[in-house]
Amino acid sequence: MAKQLIFNIFTLNSVSHIFHGMWRHPDSKALQHNDLDTWLELARLAERGCIDTIFIADLAGQQGVYRGSTDMLAERGINFPVSDPEMLLSAMIATTENLGFVYTRSMIQQPPFSFARAASTLDHLSKGRVGWNIVTSYLENAYLNVGHTELTDHDERYRRAQEYMEVVYKLWEGSWEDDAIIADREKGIFADPSKIHRIDHVGEHYSVQGPHLVEPSPQRTPVLFQAGASEAGRDFASRHAEGIFLMADSPADAAAFIDDVRARLVAAGRQPDDAKFIAGTSIIVGSTEEEAERKAAELDEYVDGESLLAQYSGVFGADLAALAPDMPLAELAQQTSAVRGILEMFIDRLPADSNPTVADLGKYFSSQYRIVGTPESIADTLQAWADAGVDGFNIIQMTTPGTYTEFIDHVVPVLQARGMMKREYAPGTLREKLFPGRAARLNDRHPTQGYRKTTMPV
Amino acid sequence: MAKQLIFNIFTLNSVSHIFHGMWRHPDSKALQHNDLDTWLELARLAERGCIDTIFIADLAGQQGVYRGSTDMLAERGINFPVSDPEMLLSAMIATTENLGFVYTRSMIQQPPFSFARAASTLDHLSKGRVGWNIVTSYLENAYLNVGHTELTDHDERYRRAQEYMEVVYKLWEGSWEDDAIIADREKGIFADPSKIHRIDHVGEHYSVQGPHLVEPSPQRTPVLFQAGASEAGRDFASRHAEGIFLMADSPADAAAFIDDVRARLVAAGRQPDDAKFIAGTSIIVGSTEEEAERKAAELDEYVDGESLLAQYSGVFGADLAALAPDMPLAELAQQTSAVRGILEMFIDRLPADSNPTVADLGKYFSSQYRIVGTPESIADTLQAWADAGVDGFNIIQMTTPGTYTEFIDHVVPVLQARGMMKREYAPGTLREKLFPGRAARLNDRHPTQGYRKTTMPV
């Protein structure tokens, strides 16, 4: 029997996400991203199609300088403006029953105490359907927006992230015991104070008294997602994440990454299947291969390649337009303070003996992450990725909601017929839906376990 | 013709709000505050009753020590646990068309950049129906939860608050010009970068680059509410607030406060009617006076007076149970680092020649803020408050939604018949609804005006 795969709608509360320029397409509703109806419609569509989650990316600042300024970001709507994803959630929760919601929150956006409280509230409101995509911002502007004077060093970011996780785990898992709430109207006793604990965290970066202001939600800790391509990122993901997002050029490429991270999971005391691996791809479907290719070619007329260079200038922390085309990428990797890991990943993928240069980046960017074909051939391709170890997909939009409508109307029935996708939602929380047979709360192999006993009473 | 008054549902995302102990009442749904249906039902009820806003209070930490510990807060559910109000909003926005939403956000919960972004997102999603109740936390635990080592001094809090306002005004009002967005699909131009500005704020407490990540929302700045009893609080409110919340013992008491703050409004270059004054009260309605009094007496059996002392121990930053009953309040006022202004207000209200003591606080707390009567006599009383200068009311719950259902079913029709309340919502944003004949955006007398021109391009 085929493995049932996870399918998420991957989006951004913005004019543009990944395939920049697509907002210009007449069918795109990206310009209406500040209209709540756009999101309610998307949530209902997703649930109709048995989609697992709406997975909302985010940026806490502008991408970087390209061609000497940030002008192009506004001019072409490159991940900018970008509204707050967290504010969308309760509306979509109210309009659905089973759909999950994974939202991105950077650790620099607010103190861990405030974030943990918001996430617990959402997990309550959704009856346990929330996931958190853990992000340590890599954009200098994001740091300058919240009082830092410069971008924090990459490895230092992960050390700080480790402490942030400790704090939220203490709040989510350790502050309230399971039987703290009594809610006895007759006796007038709401809770047993001896079972509610301050966390009294004092660390290098954070100092948090507690107790958590929200009683335990169905999942306590929301389902944890992360994307980490660098060494530090892979280590972090293998310790914490239950869903690991990756962008790969091929099933073989994905398999290499997955094998590496699964080994790290084991090294961290977890099981290889304690995390799901989710690959990003778009899908373009036609009733014949020719029709699909023709649709892809038509859509491509709207994709703006230079916007992608501008975006990656932010990712790499270097103005790609200002670099000499023959500058070796290895040299660029030495200079950047931002996402060195992603750059190293690019270098790994380009021909090893070619000493890849900046010019090769442009060539690389034009190989777009998407699957084009008939519903049957798309299912075949997805199966090839599944055979390589991928557990599911974040579906990137060409147009929204068009990409998702077509996927749901035409590809989902084929996947269901092949047993590659569920026909109805499993009961329970998002964690139980994503990990059939497991509990609503994280298992004992996860580091949250270490924070479940708190002895100091309030 | 009678003045049309503003009516808000005043609540907290918690087990208990103001009349502690009421969660024990069989009709109370306070125990279901983490269930989204509770809030959707409340929002629909409010809109059916032509209520202006749901006004959600908040606390960023636990109240203080009472009887030597914080145990009673959990045991009796005194403003604890308290979930995040901001997470409720988009669901209630989606289920209503005209209702406004005022939510409390303390400045210590997140950096101004992150808060401004969330609020702008909500103002977009609601098409301009959002207000912000500005709070500088007074609870020591709230500070200790976000990395501070102690409660910030009261006056210092207001100085920091002033800078926080400058930052959010720069983001909301100054970062994007009105005609920055072009959204020309043919030309592929989303925005004119010369009309989007970094704010480059560098101050004593905050350093924020910008630009704002969200394009201008219908109101730009959400409608600003504040409650400030102290000198510094009144000055702050008179400079910034468009809605000023007060708790008064009598119409005369309210009038004295309102006269004082209206004079401060004028001194700050604003008009006396640039702010609405909203008094807090509960309402208990019967078909006869006797029935209303009987209902009040029945409800009173659930009110827990000692919980109120515990709450005010947090407000005053002093364990009221540990103080000598004959300790003069003037002496207590010297000691407290928390809400000195509220304590001074208490002292003002107790008989001037009595040298009020801690024992008098208990007496004071038992005089509860509520109006008991028939729909007609309640309307008479509300009119007396209106004649004293009050513009509207935050209705405090005895039971929720019971207090609001009864008010809407029985009192609202009488108020409408007397012209004291609208029969249908005015069109436009919350600001236009609350200030008939005015614009969606703040007028030129408000300090936001000073931040509307930003010259440094991104």
H/E stretch holding A181 reads strand A181-184
What is the tally of helices (H) and strands (E) in chain A?
Answer: 17, 13
Confirm if B173 and B451 have CB atoms less than 8 A apart.
yes
- For B204-243, how does the pLDDT look when each residue is reduced to its tens digit (9 = 90+)? 999 999 999 999 999 999 999 999 778 888 999 999 999 9
Taking the C-alpha atoms of residue B133 and residue B226, their distance in angstroms, rounded to an integer, is 5
Rg (chain A; Cα; Å): 22
What are the tens digits of pLDDT across the range B62-108? 998 999 999 999 999 999 999 999 999 999 999 999 999 999 999 99
Strands (DSSP E) found in B136-197: 181-184, 189-191
The closest CB to that of B90, out of A89, A208, A211, belongs to A89
Ligand-binding site membership of A25 (annotated): no
**Rounded-to-integer distance, Cα A456 and Cα A439, Å:** 28
Residue A342, pLDDT above cutoff 90? no
Residues A220-274 pLDDT 10s: 999 999 997 788 889 999 999 999 999 888 999 899 999 999 999 999 999 999 9
Query: Which pLDDT belongs to residue B58?
Result: 97
Poorest-confidence range of A157-171, B310-324, B398-412? B310-324
Calculate the alpha carbon distances from B426 to A434, B131, B432, B435, B441 in Å: 47, 17, 8, 10, 16
What pLDDT score was predicted for residue A155?
Answer: 78
Could you read off the pLDDT of A356-412 as tens digits, one per residue? 777 777 666 655 689 999 999 999 999 999 999 999 999 999 999 999 999 999 999
Fold of the domain built from segment(s) A6-289+372-451? TIM Barrel (3.20.20)
Residues of A in contact with B23 (CB under 8 A): 185, 190
Higher pLDDT, A343 or B376: B376
Q: Residue A72: beta bridge partners?
A: none
Q: Is the pLDDT of residue B171 over 60?
A: yes
Residues written for chain B: 458
- Touching check for A144 and chain B: CB below 8 Å? yes
Q: How far is B167 from chain A (nearest CA, A)?
A: 11
Minimum Cα–Cα distance from A307: chain B residue: B188
Q: Which two tokens stand for residue A384?
A: 């090839």
Higher-scoring residue by pLDDT: A138, A255: A255
Q: How far apart are alpha carbons B30 and A222 in whole angstroms?
A: 24
The residue of chain A with its CA nearest to that of B72 is A193
Question: In terms of Cα–Cα distance, which of A70, A111, A98, A92 is closest to A11?
Answer: A92
| Closest listed residue to residue B285, CA positions, set B218, B374, B208, B224 | B374
Inter-chain residue contact A91 with B304, CB threshold 8 Å: no
Question: Which A residues in the span 249-308 are in contact with B, Cβ-Cβ below 8 Å?
Answer: 304
What's the Cα-to-Cα distance from A75 to each of A3, A318, B184, rounded to whole Å? 44, 19, 10
> Touching check for B196 and chain A: CB below 8 Å?
yes
What secondary structure letter does DSSP report for A137? Answer: -
Q: Which residue has the higher pLDDT, A284 or B356?
A: A284
Cβ contact (<8 Å) for B113 and A83? Answer: no
From first CA to last CA, the distance across chain B in angstroms is 52
Radius of gyration of chain B (CA): 22
Interface test with B, best of A37, A99, A184, A209 (most B CBs within 10 A): A209
- What does the pLDDT read at residue B296? 93
Alpha carbon of B125: minimum distance to chain A alpha carbons (Å): 5
The pLDDT, as a whole number, for residue B456 is 43
The pLDDT value recorded for residue B148 is 80
pLDDT tens-digit profile of A40-55? 999 999 999 999 999 9
How high is the pLDDT of residue B310? 87
Residue A137 near chain B (CB below 8 Å) = no
Average pLDDT over residues B3-18: 97
How far apart CA B217 and CA B123 sit, in angstroms, is 6
Find which of A33-37, A341-345, B365-369 is predicted with most confidence, using mean pLDDT. Answer: A33-37
How far apart, in whole angstroms, are the C-alpha atoms of residue A400 and residue A16? 10
Q: What is the pLDDT of residue B364?
A: 66
Q: How far is A387 from chain B (nearest CA, A)?
A: 40
Hunting for tokens 């084991």 — which residue is that?
A: A266
Q: What is the pLDDT of residues B406-447, one digit of tens each?
A: 999 999 999 999 999 999 999 999 999 999 999 999 999 999
Write the CA distances from A445 to A269, A275, A389, A431, integer angstroms.
Answer: 6, 12, 21, 15
Q: Residue B349: what residue type? A: R
- Residue of A74, A84, A89 with shortest CB distance to B196: A74
Q: What is the mean pLDDT of chain B?
A: 92
Q: How far is CA A6 from CA A404, A415, A425, in A?
A: 14, 11, 11
Q: Closest Cα of chain B to A200: distance in Å?
A: 9
Integer angstrom CA distances of residue A242 from A231, A270, A278? 18, 11, 10
- Residue of chain A with shortest Cα separation from B26: A185
Closest to A197 measured CA to CA, from A164, A169, A167, A170: A170
Task: Give the C-alpha distances (Å, rounded to integers) separating A8 from A105, A381, B92.
Answer: 18, 17, 25
Does the structure show a pLDDT above 80 at A150?
no
Q: Residue A458 has what pLDDT? A: 38
| Annotated binding-site residue? B217 | no
CB contact under 8 A, B86 and A81: no
Q: pLDDT digits over A195-223, tens only?
A: 999 999 999 999 999 999 999 999 999 99
pLDDT in tens, B287-333: 999 999 999 999 989 988 888 888 888 887 888 888 877 888 777 77
What is the location of CATH 3.20.20.30 in chain B? 6-289+372-451
Contacts of B106 in chain A (CB under 8 A): none
Q: Are strands A181-184 and A189-191 parallel, antiparallel or unpaired?
A: antiparallel
B197 is in an annotated binding site: no
Question: Of the candidates A246, A210, A42, A79, which has an alpha carbon nearest to the alpha carbon of residue B60?
Answer: A210
A104 known member of a binding site: yes
pLDDT at position B455 is 45
**In which element (H, E) is residue B258 found?**
helix B251-267
Mean pLDDT of the A89-111 span: 97
A–B interface: beta-carbon pairs under 8 A: 239
ipTM over 0.90: yes
Q: What is the mean pLDDT of chain A?
A: 92
pLDDT at B298: 94
